[in-house]
């Protein structure tokens, strides 16, 4: 397993997954090499 930091969270990814994090846009893309799978997780951290 791989651990990556995404803001205040620690994300545990299986070895076959890769993550690309864009901190300025507050976005993370998780890619799986075995199939065509792209997932975008969006987190809104604005306090109202």
**Of residues 36 and 26, which shows the higher confidence score?**
26
Burial 14-45 (b: 16+ CB within 10 A, else e): eeebeeebeeeeeebebeeeeeeeeeeeeeee
At residue 37, the pLDDT reads: 56
At residue 48, the pLDDT reads: 58
Tokens of 26: 């507050």
Pairing of strands 9-13, 27-32: unpaired
pLDDT tens track for 18-28? 888 888 888 88
DSSP state of 14: -
At residue 36, the pLDDT reads: 62
Average pLDDT over residues 9-14: 90
Domain ranges of the chain: 2-42
């Amino acid at each position: 397993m791989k651990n990556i930091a995404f803001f205040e969270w620690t994300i545990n990814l299986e070895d076959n997954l890769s993550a690309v994090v864009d901190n300025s846009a507050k976005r993370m893309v998780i890619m799986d090499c075995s199939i065509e799978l792209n997932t975008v997780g969006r987190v809104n951290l604005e306090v109202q």
